Amino acid sequence: MDFTFDTEQHALREAVAGLLQRAYDPEKRRAVTAKDPGFDEGTWARLAEMGVLGLPFAEEDGGMGAGQAEVALVATEIGKVLAPEPFVESVVLAGGLVAAVGTAEQRAELLGPLAEGASLVVFAHAEPDSRWTASASGVTAAQAGDGWTLTGVKEPVPSGARADVLVVSAAVDGGTALFVVRAEAAGLTRSGYRTHDGTRAARVTFDGTPAELLGDGTADRTADVELALARATVAYAHEAVGAMQTALTTTSEYLKTRKQFGVPLSKFQALTFRAADMYVSLELVRSIALWATMVLDAPGSSPEAVLAAADRARLQTSKAGRHIGKEAIQLHGGIGVTAEYSVGHYTSRLTAIDHLLGDGAWATGRLADRIDAGTVEALPA
C-alpha cells in the first residue's frame, strides 16, 4: 500500500494550489460569491487552460486521461480555499456520467467543450419531494417522434441557472434514463438562487422540453448514476478534507493570537484539547478519503467495492465535517458566526457537502444493510 503522490501529481497540486490561492482569499471569495454565477469565470477558464477541467476524461474524448488521485488533489485544493468553482459538480459528476454512459459522439461533443471551459455541464437529478436516491420519478420522459421530451421539476440543481448543458435523469418505463438538454431548449424554465455556502442552485422546470437520450437505448441507468454519485462522493470527501484542514489551521492560529483574561486562548486546556480532537477527526477522514480514491482507481475494484468505499467515505466525512465545522466556530466565539470572517464559511460549505449526495446517517443505513456477519471488512490484499 502506498498513500503518497508521485512527482507529477505533486506538480499538479502545486500548480492548482498556486492558481487557487492567488484567486481566493476570504475577501475575494466574498466578492465573487456575492454576484452570479457564484464563481469566477476567469478562474474557471484558467483551470481549463491548465487541463484541470478535463482531468478524468479519456484523451480521445478531449480529456487528460488522469485518474481519481488527480481529481482528489484538485478537490482538496478547492476545499482549502473554498473556491466556489463547480469542479466536482460539473467535471466529476456530470462529466463522469457523460463519460460513463454517453456514445462516442456525445462524449466528444460534450466533454471536449467542458474540458476547454467553453460549456458548463451539470447533472440535474435531485427532486423536491425525495432525497438521495439514484433513480428519478418526478421528471418523466416521453417519446416524441424520433426524440424525447421531459416534463417535471428538478431542484436543487447546482449551478443550474448558469449551466450550458444539463444532464437530466428521468423516469421512463419504470426505470431511469439520462438525457441531455441544452440551455436554449424550448419549455425549459430555470430559477436560480444563492445557497448558504455562497454557491448557486436552481429550480429547473421541464414542460415538454425536447431532450436527447444519453447513451444507446433506454436500459435502466440507475446503476450508472449510483457509480457516478459514488465517485463524486469521494471527490467531495477530498474537498471536505481540504476545507476541514483550513478550518483547523485557522482555529489553531486564532487560539494562539486571541487574548482573553490577559493570556492567549491557547493557554486554556479546555480549548486546546478540543483542537486536538479536531486533528484526530481530520486525520481519520483523510485516511478514508485517500483509501476510497485508491479503491476507485484500482483496476480490479468491483462496483460493489466502489459503492462501499464511497459510503465509508461519506460517513466519515459527515462525522468529521460536522465535528470540525461546529468546533471551529465555537472555539472562535462570536466572530465565527459572522459572514465577515472566514471560518464560518467553511462550516457552511461542509454542511452543504454533507447534504448534497447523502449524509452520514444515510450512509450508515446503507452500510448496515450490507454487514457481513463473518468478517470485519478486510483491506484488499
Partner 1 sequence: MQLHLSPEDQAFRDEMRTFFTTKVPQSIRDDVAAHRDVTKEQYVEVQQILNEAGLAVPHWPAEWGGRDWTPLQRHIWREEMQLAAVPEPLAFNASMIGPVIAAFGSQEQKERFLPKTANLDIWWCQGFSEPDAGSDLASLRTAAVRDGEDWVVNGQKTWTTLGQYADWIFCLCRTDPGAEKKQRGISLLVFPMDTPGVTLRPIELLDGGFEVNEVFFEDVRVPAENLIGEENRGWDYAKFLLGNERVGIARVGATKRMLVDAKAHATRITSGGRPLIEDPSMRARIAELETELLALELTALRVVSNSTDGKPNPASSVLKLRGSELQQSATELIVDIAGPLSLASFAEDDDTDVPEWARVATPEFLNYRKVSIYGGSNEVQRTIIAGTILGL
Piece of the chain touching partner 1 by CB under 8 A; list 167-175, 208-216, 217-225, 250-258: 250-258
Q: How far is the CB of 206 from partner 1 (least distance, A)?
A: 37
Piece of the chain touching partner 1 by CB under 8 A; list 38-46, 94-102, 144-152, 282-290: 282-290
Which of 337, 371 has the CB closer to partner 1?
Answer: 371
Phi and psi angles of residue 137, each rounded to the nearest 5 degrees, phi first = -140, -35
377 makes contact with partner 1 (CB under 8 A): yes
Q: How many CA atoms lie within 13 A of 66 on its CB side?
A: 23
290 makes contact with partner 1 (CB under 8 A): yes
75 makes contact with partner 1 (CB under 8 A): no
Residues 251-270 that bind partner 1 (CB under 8 A): 252, 255-256, 266, 269
13 makes contact with partner 1 (CB under 8 A): no
322 makes contact with partner 1 (CB under 8 A): no
Long-range Cβ contacts of 327-334 (<8 Å, 24+ apart): 327/251, 327/274, 327/275, 327/277, 327/278, 328/247, 328/248, 328/250, 328/251, 328/278, 330/274, 331/251, 331/254, 331/255, 331/265, 331/271, 331/274, 331/275, 332/251, 332/254
Q: How far is the CB of 293 from partner 1 (least distance, A)?
A: 7
50 makes contact with partner 1 (CB under 8 A): no
Decide the pairing of beta strands 121-124 and 175-182. Answer: unpaired
291 makes contact with partner 1 (CB under 8 A): yes
Instruction: Write down the residue that cell numbers 486562548 correspond to.
Output: 265
Which of 146, 261 has the CB closer to partner 1?
Answer: 261
Which of 201, 244 has the CB closer to partner 1?
Answer: 244
Q: Which triple of cell numbers denotes residue 364?
A: 450508515
The residue from 186, 223, 284, 337 that contacts partner 1 (CB under 8 A) is 284
Nearest residue to 123 via CA among 97, 101, 149, 105? 97
Distance CA 276, CA 284 (A): 13
Which of 24, 291 has the CB closer to partner 1?
Answer: 291
Cβ atoms of 191 and 203 closer than 8 Å? yes
Phi and psi angles of residue 247, each rounded to the nearest 5 degrees, phi first = -60, -40
The residue from 33, 135, 205, 293 that contacts partner 1 (CB under 8 A) is 293
Which of 87, 291 has the CB closer to partner 1?
Answer: 291
The residue from 1, 104, 263, 270 that contacts partner 1 (CB under 8 A) is 1
11 makes contact with partner 1 (CB under 8 A): no
Q: Which triple of cell numbers denotes residue 134?
A: 439514484
The residue from 272, 326, 335, 355 that contacts partner 1 (CB under 8 A) is 272
Q: How far is the CB of 71 from partner 1 (least distance, A)?
A: 12
303 makes contact with partner 1 (CB under 8 A): no
Instruction: Return the SS3 of 37.
Output: coil
364 makes contact with partner 1 (CB under 8 A): yes
Q: How many residues does the chain have?
A: 381
DSSP for 144-187? Answer: ETTEEEEEEEEEEEETTTT-SEEEEEEEETTEEEEEEEETT-TT
Which of 1, 104 has the CB closer to partner 1?
Answer: 1
374 makes contact with partner 1 (CB under 8 A): yes
373: how many CB neighbours lie within 10 A of its CB?
Answer: 4
C-alpha distance from residue 254 to each of 65, 96, 278, 332 (Å): 41, 39, 14, 7
Which of 193, 279 has the CB closer to partner 1?
Answer: 279
339 makes contact with partner 1 (CB under 8 A): no
Distance CA 7, CA 3 (A): 13
Q: Which residues bind partner 1 (CB under 8 A)?
A: 1-5, 9, 69, 248, 252, 255-256, 266, 269, 272-273, 275-277, 279-280, 283-285, 287-288, 290-291, 293-295, 297-298, 301, 312, 315-316, 364-365, 367-369, 371, 373-377, 379-381
